[in-house]
Chains A and B, each alone.
Chain A
Amino acid sequence: MKRAVTKSTLLWLLVLLIALLIPVVVENKFYMHTLILILFYAAVSGSWNILAGYAGQLSLGHAIFFGLGAYTSTLLFMNGGVSPWIGMCAALALCMLVGACIGYPCFRLKGPFFTLATLAFSEVIRLVASFWKELTNGAVGLNIPFQAGFSNLMFRGKEPYYYIALGVLCLVIAVTYWIDRSKMGAYLIAIRENEEAADALGIPITRYKLYAVLISSGLAGITGVFYAQYILFIEPEAMFNVNFSVQVALISIIGGMGTVAGPVLGAVLMIPLNELLRSAFSGLNGLNFFLYGIVLILVVSFIPNGILPTLRGWLSKKRANRHSQLTQAIPGTQKGGGQVDSAN
């Protein structure tokens, strides 16, 4: 048990080291852009994973928090000259507040009805952002004036953005890892699996769902702030887009919901695929979505739990097979762990 923990920690450190070294090797701007997108999508999907993967509340409205974060820091910066670093705190607070306000009444709804409610809220907020021209400049969007500097969170090259996105992703992973290992994670999973049984085991369901939505919306909001500083142009159609919410959900679903690494794996696979298809079929508009859809159908029909849990199940089965072969070959070697076999 103890050794397994250090093994996974080593793997995480190795991946982090590779991630840190990538900008040294990669110089192509398109590749860097794709890498930065992977990190941002992995971070938003990771925040979605806390609410949907762990607590089982399938939201299709995570664009709300992502967009709200982006708009909050941008408006504060453009109208009041507030540094995005401080804007981030405001975005965090606002996103958590909105998350709680949407979550609290909607948690009474079960399954698809909760999902539909989040979808509806997302559309309402998109419309408000489009028509409240005095505040958001409406559908025209906001152009963030470029003033390079650390306090403005704007840089000339792509490398600083890469490291910032990596930092955000590390934050999301750290929070998810902590949840996964603690009482909180166990309680969220219990709620996902069976609310009635969770209730009977002393779990305050609404409170834990609220914790999940607060953490999830806050992290999505922070990611939105940094994304806005990278793209430097935000508009309601792009920030509060339902397609974005769906894509964020699909990344986790494909990678493996309710696992720490699932969203990262999903983003690493799906974002390059999406970019590749888009550039390969630039003449045939929409064909990339068609192929993307086919990949999705394949994943959902053959590995419905997502790639990571399927891989894990396959590995443990292989290990169990090897173990039983070993014990069969050498009958005297059953020690400790072999109790199960001898009991059968």
Chain B
Amino acid sequence: MENTSSEPSSAHAGDGVHERERLVKGNLSFHDVTEMVARHTEKKTPLTWYVLFTIAASMAGLLVVMLAYQVWNGVGVWGNNQPVGWGWPIVNFVFWVGIGHAGTLISAILFLFRQQWRTSINRSAEAMTLFAVICALIFPTFHVGRVWAVYWMLPIPNQMEMWPQFKSPLLWDVFAVSSYFIVSLMFWYVGLVPDLATLRDRAKGFWRKRIMGFFSLGWTGANRHWRNYEKAYLLLAGLATPLVLSVHSVVSFDFAVSILPGWHTTIFPPYFVAGAIFSGFAMVVTLLVIARKAYGLENLITIDHLEKMNIIILVTGTIVGFAYITEFFMAWYSGVEYEQYAFLNRAFGPYAWAYWIMMSCNLISPQLFWSKKLRRSIPVMFALSIVVNIGMWFERFVITITSLHRDFLPSSWGYFTPTWIDIGTFVGSFGLFFTLFLLFLRFVPMVAIAEVKGVMPQADPHAYEGDGHPTPGQTDVPYIQAEAEIDPSDDSRRRDSGEVRGGA
């Protein structure tokens, strides 16, 4: 047991604390975990943060300028025109909503499946969900053209005495995405309350103490509270799970409920959901590879966590690729000439370049993760996660544009090209996303402190029977069998009682 529990040195935090094969590495005490996470919200803001924030905020500024220009001049400044009425705005909307889904998947579905490794990554993944949904909502909001009338989408009594059309999939989308945002926000905040209380109790400044006191709601870690809290958290997870699956299904209804060749297929809901999870996990990997390095959290967000996410990327990428092929089969098997043409046109028509980018990024590239070595390699997974998101953007591009650009009559055929406003708006949405994510990293504990403590071996009250101290090596059951690689200094370290304060 002891021998299997050491870890290749690549995951070292560089502080001389040794790794072992368990959820939290480095033989940390509870206080070390608090310290490792909380200090990043308390220390002086590093210069790098300011540099990155300036870049991100200027990109977000670009978004504001682009949107202002679009509102002033009208939707015509975008490339959308007949026959392609849904251009980049819808592509970007679906892209961002999809990215959001991994956060809920990690926080809710993995929670229900008792996948305790999620505790290190769920906070940042949920934050990513919220920010991605915010970015997503911008696009349909402005795509309506007259943004000042956007409240017509909501059932608000008004002077026209008219109501939204509830039979429209686009309205289902309004309800699905906004419910999703609200539920994700509540889920995230409920998870944050105990950690905000930790920050409150550590706060030195007058205002910081009061602001944290306000947001932590007077949390004291009382067991009477934990009891209701855990139940509420479980129920929220149970509610968020079907919700997240429904949201991308409803997004796919926007397409599937129409009667357009290439859109009108029953495969869309599961295929969209798999694609969403695929792109979302890729985004989580992209962000966490950077964040864990920058914040010295290699002991909490370990290489094993990243590997597990890469396995999910491999699985969902293959599901998505399978769906692409199934679509082709169904088009052929349906015997419908228009359906067959739509797919042949996708693969070999004027947008073949986009189709093959999609195929190679989404189906072929994740297959590299069959190799254990590659899926545990930080540079490989970082590059691949970006490739996957490029591929998933192109998937939405292919679905939206190729089905629209050649209508039933050749007289209404066209070729869509984006304008620089389209490009600027999309780039700007990344700016907004990174701005929000940087603010999150700066002000909010980026790892769920209380949850991580709860999965540490010494959190189990039965770990203390006997000599009154947790016995290292006995309570930790490796969840991935590591190749035995024993560091000679490891044994001496293990005899330490684990009271290495301060962590990384």
> Do A and B associate with each other?
no
